[in-house]
Structure 1
Amino acid sequence: MAKIAFILLCHKDPDAIIKQAQSLTAVGDYMSIHFDARAPKADYDRIRAALADNPNVTFPKRRVKCGWGAWSLVQATLNALGAATDAFPRATHFYMLSGDCMAIKSARYAHGLLDRREVDYIESFDYFKSDWIKTGWKEERLVYRHWFNERTQKKRFYAMFELQKRLGLTREIPRDIEVMIGSQWWCLRRRTVAWILDFCRQRRDVMRFFRGTWIPDETFFQTLVRHLVPAQEIESRTLTFLMFTDYGMPVVFHNDHYDLLLSQDFLFARKISPEARELKRRLGVLYASDGARFRISDEGRSLYRFLTEKGRIGRRFAPRFWETESSLGRDRELLIVVCRKWQVARRLVQRMRQVTDIPCIEYLFNDESCALPDLGGIQSTVAKRHRHRRALMRMLFDYYESERLVVCLDPSNLDLLEDFCRDRSVSRLLEIECRYSDAYLTGHAMRVGLAGDHTPRETLNCLLPAIRNDMVHESDRIRDAQFENHLLMREIDNPAQNARPIAAFLGVTEDTALELARTDNLFAD
């Protein structure tokens, strides 16, 4: 059975470190603690004193002064690994943690997961071919020498870089290794750790190279594992759940994230807020629990993206210069059906095709598979359709040889509505207001990745009101825009009432509009 030696790098909050060590070692696992040498000695002494009688805790003989992005973080990890391998001969796995990490599964679950597969869990992506680095330096991290800390010695750091760049003082990467990159939060088998420590003693050239790189904790272990371990024995993922904001800062978890964290397909989570005392208490108890059951839905990242994107409403790229002052045509009519429930709009539009001669196109700006004629490639992707929206619509009017055209849009496409309704052509909106049952909202959450088959009911109960409010908010935004010729039909109204907006929208007789309003199963889910 797996036994884990946790490699804990930390620099603050000694009381939390003591509790973390006691919690994780209570079930028989181990911990090697490196407490930053920059931190107060009194804090370090307090940790050692509190854990002195715990045989499952050890400390490296030498503490290192750590700095972000510097080799010191790797050296501290190697020191802690060395201490752990010597002190805990029964440890089968070595798991990298920080003081801000906490278990989101029980020890029984964690051991079972590690027992099932004979692999190392570490993100290991090709440094040059992958897009793991989104912005900033890439090659510069490796081919130039970085001896100063960018955070504490910024002027020296950049002065040295500019000097090397001006003089062309680059260096070669050791020829027999391929540099990899990934998260610094990994879980490695004992054999792999032994290989790494032996490699460090034998390959001084590789050690010298990585000592001069920038942010080596994202490349050193990732490169060595890929160099030493067969590819089929590497699972290129981390077992620690972490997310980043748009500003590159780690997302911090609070007391109300407990259920969400437990449903993620990870063993630990980072970062837990220092103020989240109730969350820390519950997670601290969790690791030693024996009867906990976990329903993995793994929708954490999509939920976070859904909620944070609500703060970006109304943002829109400027129009392309070649579309400025362009028009769909002064005498043309663009008839837009707006509905969140696509199947409802499609049923109505299908019936419109049967009783009128107006060309109808369903959700061309939302559905990649929407049937469109060949217009020279402008219709090939949703992104192109958005980018060349007016040109696309003019070509469709021309293709169908019609001065009237019906299209369906999702209510989230406010930018398209604003663009088309400002055009010199005549635009009419028929908004279809539907009721949203819990069953529909649950299905919607699963379709868009906000939930899965195993999402706990408690999570859904919190999520459904947010989705319902979001849909209502989209409708409110459309009405706040005060578009001319904005008509509304509602599921709660009878066919006779809905016939009036349909007649005004299409310019048809009341009998024809009533026939459309009576479309079979129009509002069925």
Structure 2
Amino acid sequence: MAKIAYILLCHKDPEAIIQQAERLTAVGDYMAIHFDASANPKHFAAIKAALQDNPNVAFSRKRIKCGWGAWSLVQATLYAVEAAVDTFPRATHFYMLSGDCMAIKSAEYTHAFLDSNDIDYIESFDYFESDWIKTGMKEERLIYRHFFNERTQKRRFYASYNLQKKLGLTREIPSDLQIQIGSQWWCLRRRTVEWILDFTRMRKDVMRFFKTTWIPDETFFQTLVRHLVPENEIETRTLTFLMFSDYGMPVTFYNDHYELLLSQDFLFARKISPEATDLKERLGALYAAEDQVFQISNEGAGLFKFLTERGRIGRRFASRFWETEATLGRDRELMIVVCKKWHVAKRLVESISHGTNIPVVEYIFNEENAPLPDLGGIQRTLSKRHRHRRALTRMLFEYFETNRLIVCMDPGNFYLLEDFGSDRSGTRILEVECNYTDEFLIGHSKRIGLAGEQTSEETLQRLLPTIRNEIAFEKDRIHDANFDSLYTIKESDSAQENAAPLAEFLGVSPEKAQQIADTPYLFSD
């Protein structure tokens, strides 16, 4: 059975560290601690005094001062790993933790999870091909030598960097290494850890390279694991649940996040608020609990993205010009059917297609697999369609050899409506207003990833008012925009009442509009 040696790097909050060590070792697991040499020595003395009689706790034989982005973080990790390997010969796995992490599964579940697959868990994406680094230095982290800490010695850091850049003092990346990048929160098997330690003793050239690399804790272990371990024995993910805000700051969890955390497909979570005493007590008791059943719905990241994006798109950030003079054409008319119930809009446009000669495409900006002709690759992914939306739409006009085109959109795509509405072409918008039952909203939340099949009823009931409010906000936002040609049909209105706005939107006779409005089961779920 799996036995875990937790590798803990810490620098504050001795009481929390003591509690964490006692909780995780109470069920037979181990912990090796490196306490920052620059931290309060009284805190380290308190930790050592409290844990010195615990045979499942070890301390790094060396302690160094750690700095963010510096080699010292990797060196401190290696010191703790060496202590764990030497002290705990029965440890099968080594799990990297911080003082802000807590288990969100029981030890019984965690051990069974690790026993089920003989693999290493570590994020390791190609350094140059992936988009893991969003802003700032990328290649410069590697090809220049970084002797100073950017946060504590900013002037020296940039003076050294700029001088090397000016003089062309670049260096080669070790030729046999493919640099990888990812989260520093990994879980590795004993064999892998031993291989890494042997590698560090044999390859002094690689050690010299990483010692002057900027932010090596995101690249060192990630690169070495890929170099030493067969690809089919690596799962490129972290087992620690963590999220970041729009501003790159870690999301903090509080007392009311207990159920949410337990439903995620992870073993630990970071960061737990120091003030979340109730959450800490419940999670602390959980690790030692037996016969626990966890319903994994994994909706945490989707929920966070959904809730934090409310109030941003179309409110705080204006859309940017992205194609100079990229009009669809003065003589063209884009007709947009806006509906939250996608199946209703598809039913409607199918009826329109049969009753008129206007070409129709469905939710091309929402569904990856929406049927589209081959347009040279611009249509292949949703991101490309959004990024080149006007070019894509122009090509559709040309493909269908028409000056009128109907496209379906979700009301959440407000920036698309704004962008197309500002074009010199004619833009007409038909809003399809539906009634929404709780059952539909729950199904909708599952389809878009806000909830899963195992999401608890309590979580769903908390989510429903937010979704209803979001739908209402999207409707108000469209009406407040004062689009020149906005028409509305409603589920609550009769087919005869809906025929009039349909006739205006489509530019067809009242009789033809009535036929379309009479589409059987138009609003049915």
TM-score (norm 2): 0.90
Aligned to 1:119: 119
Structure 1 residues 424, 249: closer, same or farther in 2, change over 3 A?
Answer: closer
Aligned to 1:39: 39
Aligned to 2:452: 452
Amino acid at match of 1:346: K
Counterpart check, 1:147 vs 2:147:
yes
Counterpart check, 1:486 vs 2:486:
yes
Counterpart check, 1:273 vs 2:273:
yes
Aligned to 1:68: 68
Task: Note the 1:383-462 alignment, pairs <5 A.
Answer: 406-422=406-422, 427-462=427-462
Amino acid at match of 2:330: L
Aligned to 1:316: 319
Deviates more, 1:9-18 or 1:511-520: 511-520
Matched residues in 2 for 1:124 and 1:393: separation? 37
Task: Note the 1:287-366 alignment, pairs <5 A.
Answer: 287-314=287-314, 315-318=318-321, 320-323=323-326, 327-329=329-331, 334-366=334-366
Aligned to 1:226: 226
Structure 1 residues 358, 277: closer, same or farther in 2, change over 3 A?
Answer: same
Deviates more, 1:25-34 or 1:157-166: 157-166
Matched residues in 1 for 2:507 and 2:393: separation? 21
Amino acid at match of 1:48: K
8 Å contact from structure 2 (residues 313, 415) kept in 1: no
Amino acid at match of 1:317: R
Deviates more, 1:140-149 or 1:495-504: 495-504
Matched residues in 1 for 2:264 and 2:422: separation? 45
Q: SS in structure 2 opposite 1:91?
A: coil
Matched residues in 2 for 1:225 and 1:398: separation? 51
Amino acid at match of 1:239: L
Amino acid at match of 2:341: K
Counterpart check, 1:49 vs 2:52:
no
Residue deviations 1:79-108, cap 9 Å, x none? 112222222222111111000111111100
Structure 1 residues 316, 172: closer, same or farther in 2, change over 3 A?
Answer: closer
Task: Note the 1:184-223 alignment, pairs <5 A.
Answer: 184-223=184-223
Counterpart check, 1:158 vs 2:133:
no
Structure 1 residues 376, 102: closer, same or farther in 2, change over 3 A?
Answer: closer
Q: SS in structure 2 opposite 1:188?
A: strand
Q: SS in structure 2 opposite 1:66?
A: coil
Deviates more, 1:212-221 or 1:388-397: 388-397
Deviates more, 1:63-72 or 1:205-214: 205-214
Structure 1 residues 400, 13: closer, same or farther in 2, change over 3 A?
Answer: closer
Deviates more, 1:454-463 or 1:431-440: 454-463
Deviation at 1:478, TM superposition (A): 0.8
Structure 1 residues 291, 404: closer, same or farther in 2, change over 3 A?
Answer: same
Q: SS in structure 1 opposite 2:100?
A: coil
Amino acid at match of 1:4: I
- Larger Rg: 1 or 2? 1
8 Å contact from structure 2 (residues 352, 516) kept in 1: yes
Counterpart check, 1:495 vs 2:498:
no
Deviation at 1:299, TM superposition (A): 2.4
Matched residues in 1 for 2:330 and 2:445: separation? 36
8 Å contact from structure 1 (residues 337, 409) kept in 2: yes
8 Å contact from structure 1 (residues 259, 458) kept in 2: no
Aligned to 2:8: 8
Structure 1 residues 102, 484: closer, same or farther in 2, change over 3 A?
Answer: same
Deviation at 1:267, TM superposition (A): 0.7
Matched residues in 1 for 2:406 and 2:225: separation? 58
Deviation at 1:510, TM superposition (A): 4.8
Structure 1 residues 94, 434: closer, same or farther in 2, change over 3 A?
Answer: same
Deviation at 1:124, TM superposition (A): 2.6
Deviation at 1:151, TM superposition (A): 1.1
Aligned to 1:17: 17
8 Å contact from structure 1 (residues 127, 180) kept in 2: yes
Deviates more, 1:85-94 or 1:10-19: 85-94
Amino acid at match of 1:121: Y
Deviates more, 1:102-111 or 1:135-144: 135-144
Structure 1 residues 427, 296: closer, same or farther in 2, change over 3 A?
Answer: same
Deviation at 1:462, TM superposition (A): 2.5
Structure 1 residues 44, 522: closer, same or farther in 2, change over 3 A?
Answer: same
Unmatched 5+ stretches in structure 1? none
Structure 1 residues 434, 199: closer, same or farther in 2, change over 3 A?
Answer: same
Deviation at 1:182, TM superposition (A): 2.1
Deviates more, 1:66-75 or 1:121-130: 121-130
Counterpart check, 1:477 vs 2:480:
no
Deviates more, 1:251-260 or 1:120-129: 120-129
Deviation at 1:398, TM superposition (A): 7.3
Deviation at 1:355, TM superposition (A): 3.9
Residue deviations 1:8-44, cap 9 Å, x none? 1001111111111111111111111111111111111
Deviates more, 1:390-399 or 1:100-109: 390-399
Structure 1 residues 335, 40: closer, same or farther in 2, change over 3 A?
Answer: closer
Query: How many corresponding residue pairs?
Result: 522
Aligned to 2:138: 138
8 Å contact from structure 1 (residues 362, 408) kept in 2: yes
Amino acid at match of 1:278: D
Deviates more, 1:416-425 or 1:102-111: 416-425
TM-score (norm 1): 0.90
Matched residues in 2 for 1:30 and 1:382: separation? 46
8 Å contact from structure 1 (residues 105, 287) kept in 2: yes
Amino acid at match of 2:110: A
Q: SS in structure 2 opposite 1:74?
A: helix
Matched residues in 1 for 2:245 and 2:492: separation? 41
Aligned to 1:284: 284
Matched residues in 1 for 2:322 and 2:208: separation? 52
Matched residues in 2 for 1:116 and 1:143: separation? 40
Structure 1 residues 474, 200: closer, same or farther in 2, change over 3 A?
Answer: same
8 Å contact from structure 1 (residues 328, 393) kept in 2: no
Matched residues in 1 for 2:357 and 2:175: separation? 69
Counterpart check, 1:79 vs 2:79:
yes
